[in-house]
A and B are shown apart, each in its own frame.
Chain A
Amino acid sequence: MAKVHNWQIGREMDYPYEGRRPEKQFAMIFDTNKCIACQTCTVACKTTWTTGRGQEYMYWNNVETKPYGYYPLGWDVTILDKLGVQEMDGPVYRGKTLFDAAPTGEILLGYLPEDIDYAHPNIGEDDSTGLMPQGAHLTLPHLQWMFYLPRICNHCTYPACLSACPRQSIYKRPEDGIVLLDQSRCRGYRECVRGCPYKKVYFNAQTRVSEKCIGCYPAVEGGRQTQCTITCIGKIRIQGFLNAPDKVDEDNPLDYLVHVKKIARPLYPQFGLEPNTYYIPPIHVPAAYLRQMFGWGVEQATDMYRQVAMDRKLLGALTLFGATPEIAQHFRVDGDSVVGYDAKQSEIARVPLKEPVVIREVYDPKHRAFRTNIT
């Protein structure tokens, strides 16, 4: 095993291959506070990429309700249970990663789900943590809670799927860090399905090989964000490129949110894969649960989110979500607007930080019509 640096857990760790970061890293940020689980992203991905035979229950993008929704069934609680209780008491994670916890004869700790675990993609939808008793009313914190967790492949810096494949059928592109599975080279061993703790590699029983999210690379190569991002009606996502923490560009919206403000957190960083999808955690969920899911420092992220109206640059970065189908590589706040720029510094989006309020007269004499104001 080589020693690699994983900034998300603040330490070096073992990985089967030497660490070599791509020129730039495909990354995505989700604002979980805005997701309504409408599944438009899921449908956009499905209709674009996985409508073939053998892909019926294959969702490269899915949205599940937490804490009781899973796709496939129990994916996170199963691997958390296998990993066991670990120490997480500071920015440096002292517990075991999945590579540290590899059983004898295995490359990492993993498990192969049952086929039936994929049979109910939206199981647990809208289930909250408990029943609302008679007479319950809104309190803070909420009596019960749930939230929606949209997921794609994390295009990890240290992918478990890649490390688990005995024949190097999975590779990470040096130009953008997208992790791809070679459909010509794969022999269907399913070691990647077993190894990926996020269960974002799927087995196609018709082709007898595995498949996974391709990060919409044809779009990304052309400077456009992924299908799941540009179709999101809640504007909860932004997709772009993330720099390593020693090369932070404050004007890159992803660098700003992940590295500078630290408001967007990785999913289960303790697994040790340095996943590259990041979540602005839900502000109404107990900190202990969030800490397990998004790592150390999550309380600062939720505190910051509550104060976002006071921070114009932060508000600007968040306002870029869903503002353009193109990839914003730079941004700046210009007066009362935030402006997004592509790689050549050409303006691709300009959005007001505060949505203008227009109040129409109730009665329109020209058309002799009564109108209701909407926002």
Chain B
Amino acid sequence: MRARLSAAVLSALVLWGGGAEAQAPLTAVRVPGAGPITDLAAPAWKQARPVKVAMLPQTVTSPQKPDSAIKELSVRAAHNGGWIAFLIEWRDPTLSNRIVLDNFGDQVAVQLPLDPRGAVPSPMMGNAGGRVNIMQWRAAFQRDLDVGPPTVQDLYPNAWADFYPDEVLGAADARPYTGALGLENPISRGVATPVLDQMAEGWGSMTVKPDQHALGRGVWREGVWRVVITRPMVSDDVNAPRLVPGDRTVAGFAVWEGGNREVGSRKAWAPWLPLAIAR
């Protein structure tokens, strides 16, 4: 197992080195205003130059997705001194926001090293001691927030049951029958934001942070997803990067095409690309 992981990390670093050279840098332009940047139609985005990010099939660690569907993202970045935001656009002919056994959701994620000025961690979700902040937007969470979480009948229109425990028991007694929802597993619902603020130190270590600071919004129209992900540049969260104007760091991206059964490590990813935060 250890030998397999070591070889995989080596491959990832090789890919990262090659990819970083070929990739155009991303600049987070300074825009006026204050507070979260979640408006997809903000005029500020016209000031930001889009960068084409080539997406690679994840074939480094198992399980793999050699036939990942999304080949390219268009990414812009902006900041207002308090919040940094990424506008990510990609072509996706299928809207995937209904989650059942054989339906997976569209997702996109931005990854930043926790220490923007330190050694660059592995681009594949960091490494032991090289912690990264991963902000993941989910189409299913966006739907939860836009139209409400799906009921059983939303997912299966002909479903019918005599009664459920929560209809005949008090909340405390019914809770054991609610599984992950009762445990407030953050994967179960998009509660306040469609973006999960997470940290990782390598494969399998992704952890949703207790402090959620990332916000965002996504809209799918005519076969194109436009998603904005934003977070405070400085916060009291020790597991978030502290970004200041003038910083030069890196950013990584991953995307999942739910219609192609992409989930977890079955995804497309991009090696680090340079990220400059304008003064």
Contact = CB atoms under 8 A, between A and B. Distances in A.
Contact of B177 (A51, A166, A189, A208): A51
A100 B166 CA distance: 45
Interface string B19-59: 00000000000000000000000000000000000000001
A86 interface: no
Given A52-B165, A115-B101, A206 B152 contact: yes
A164 B264 CA distance: 12
A211 B188 CA distance: 13
Interface stretch (A88-96, A105-113, A275-283): A105-113
A52 B264 contact: no
Contact of B101 (A16, A164, A190, A206): A190
Q: Which of B62, B164, B179, B189 has the most C-beta atoms of chain A within 10 angstroms of its own C-beta?
A: B179
A175 B164 CA distance: 34
Contact of A187 (B1, B100, B103, B187): B187
B276 interface: no
Contacts of B99: 188, 205, 208
A345 interface: no
B63 A209 contact: no
Given A166-B204, A207-B178, A209-B179, A189 B102 contact: no
A56 interface: yes
B206 interface: yes
B1 A186 contact: no
Q: Which of A1, A2, A166, A208 has the most C-beta atoms of chain B within 10 angstroms of its own C-beta?
A: A208
B204 A204 contact: no
B100 A207 contact: no
B101 A203 contact: yes
Contacts of B181: 206-207
Contacts, number: 116
A134 B251 CA distance: 75
B152 A204 contact: no
Given A53-B164, A205-B100, A206-B181, A105 B64 contact: yes
Contact of A2 (B1, B177, B187): B1
A82 B265 CA distance: 23
Nearest to A189: B264
A205 B101 contact: yes
Contacts of B156: 56
Contacts of B140: 208
A208 B62 contact: no
A54 B179 contact: yes
A361 interface: no
A326 B213 CA distance: 51
B190 to A, nearest CB: 10
A106 B63 contact: yes
B185 interface: yes
Contacts of B264: 166, 187, 189, 191
B225 to A, nearest CB: 20
A53 B178 contact: yes
A52 B100 contact: no
A27 B179 CA distance: 25
A193 B101 contact: yes
18 contacts: A17-B1, A52-B165, A55-B179, A56-B159, A166-B61, A167-B205, A183-B185, A186-B185, A187-B264, A188-B263, A190-B263, A203-B100, A205-B150, A207-B178, A207-B180, A207-B188, A209-B187, A211-B179
Interface in B130-189: 140, 150, 152, 155-156, 159, 161, 164-166, 177-181, 183, 185, 187-189
B66 interface: yes
Contacts of B178: 52-53, 207
B179 A52 contact: yes
A114 interface: yes
Nearest to A183: B180
Contacts of B179: 52, 54-55, 183, 204, 206-207, 209, 211
A78 interface: no
A107 B206 CA distance: 20
Nearest to B149: A206
